[in-house]
Amino acid sequence: MLGLSVLMWNICSVSELSSENMRTCFQIVNAYIYLSATDFLQNYAEGLCRSFCELLQDITNEGQVQVLKVVEIALKVSPILGAHMFQPLLPAVLRGVVDGEKYPVVMSTYLGITGRVLLQNSSFFSSLLTQMASECNQGIDQLLGNVIEMWVDRMDNITQPERRKLSSLALLSLLPSENSVIQDKFCGIVNICVEALHDVMTEDSDTGTFRDCMLMSQFEEPKLSDDEEPPTEQDKRKRLMALEDPVHSVSLQQFVYEKLKAQQALMGDQAFGLLMETVDTEIVQQLQQFLRGL
Ligand SMILES: *[C@@H]1O[C@H](CO)[C@@H](O)[C@H](O)[C@H]1NC(C)=O
Ligand SMILES: *[C@@H]1O[C@H](CO)[C@@H](O)[C@H](O)[C@H]1NC(C)=O
């Protein structure tokens, strides 16, 4: 790993690199995270996080996206350690969401990271909100409301199917809730879930039933067509990690169903009925179509 130490040292002056070299540099870092997440994060994440914090101050949008992708991958392959090691960076990410970062690609990356954090550990997410609330003298609920509103509003900026499904799972994880701020945003949350259901639900031509096409099973080997290369070791590692990723292991359809049921059980039928009335009737119909058969 001596080579890696040298690389890490170079990262510190990455802002002086050409953008092409910088991209290569980040590719190597990402490959190492996939190769050996725990080892890598324990040894290098602290230094990396420090230089990232500096880098993010003065870097192009493209550079910002590269930096944030490293954090996103770390959170994906090693949720607990990733969140712990890159914690100093996370308030800036949340700030970027609340402030409505104007570049769609950067915003999408912010939301990808926020989604991972929220879905993986809601109390960690709350502690970030609390920290931010005290720094900017705002109420925690007000901040939470702003985050959700911005998320729903900017969902169109997220083009990656993975992040779109993750966004729905993350926002759904706020349910069931008695918090009036979350209930106020219920309509928006349902809207983006239905959008994501449109993305992921595909018809299985063999059985004629609809299923979440992002679900992966360890029993299903990916089918290879004749002109495809066999998977590399790196591909195989990524696949094994994906099996643990909620995006590929949780059925969105099932998750939506369970969360709405839980909200109904919490509020009672009548109040839940009123809450559902805040959602556009056409969206409710689409939702019912997707949930049919559960
Ligand atoms: C979740 O976050 C809380 C608060 O930061 C922390 O104490 C706890 O260890 C975290 N749990 C996991 C499983 O990461
Ligand atoms: C990003 O989201 C905003 C707000 O919804 C929208 O006006 C803008 O067109 C979106 N841009 C892209 C590239 O998706």
CA distance 146 to 232: 43
Decide: 153 in ligand 2 pocket, CB within 6 A: yes
Say how many Å lie between the CA of residue 281 and the centre of ligand 1: 39
Decide: 156 in ligand 2 pocket, CB within 6 A: yes
Decide: 157 in ligand 2 pocket, CB within 6 A: yes
In sequence order, what are the residues at sequence separation of 6 or more whose Cβ sits closer than 8 angstroms to the Cβ of residue 216?
239, 242, 243, 248, 249
Q: Which of 124, 125, 129, 132 has most ligand 1 atoms within 8 Å of CB, for mutation? A: 124
**Do 78 and 34 form a contact (C-beta atoms < 8 A)?**
no
Helix, strand, coil % (nearest 5) of the chain?
75, 0, 25
CA distance 168 to 155: 10
Q: Atom 12 of ligand 1 has which residue's CA nearest to it?
A: 80
pLDDT beyond 70 at 42? yes
Lowest-confidence segment of 10-19, 93-102, 126-135 by average pLDDT:
10-19
Nearest to 197 by CA among 253, 116, 261, 157: 253
At residue 2, the pLDDT reads 47
Say how many Å lie between the CA of residue 124 and the centre of ligand 1: 6
pLDDT beyond 60 at 12? no
Reported in sequence order, the residue ranges of 164-209 that DSSP labels E, i.e. its strands, are: 201-203
pLDDT beyond 50 at 233? yes
**Do 104 and 60 form a contact (C-beta atoms < 8 A)?**
no
Say how many Å lie between the CA of residue 132 and the centre of ligand 2: 26
Q: Tens digit of pLDDT for each residue in 247-278?
A: 999 999 999 999 999 999 999 999 999 999 99
Question: Any residues with Cβ below 6 Å from ligand 1, and which?
Answer: 80, 121, 123-124, 127
Say how many Å lie between the CA of residue 81 and the centre of ligand 2: 33
What is the pLDDT confidence band of residue 10, given thresholds at 50, 70 and 90? low
Q: Tens digit of pLDDT for each residue in 148-188?
A: 999 999 999 999 999 999 999 999 999 999 999 999 999 99
Q: Atom 8 of ligand 2 has which residue's CA nearest to it?
A: 157
**Atom nearest to 157 CA in ligand 2:** 14
Amino acid found at 152: V
CA distance 170 to 144: 13
At residue 159, the pLDDT reads 96
Say how many Å lie between the CA of residue 59 and the centre of ligand 1: 31
Backbone φ and ψ for 60, nearest 5 degrees, come out as: -70, 165
The 3-state secondary structure of 125-164 reads: HHHHHHHHHHHHCCCHHHHHHHHHHHHHHCHHHCCCHHHH
CA distance 19 to 57: 16
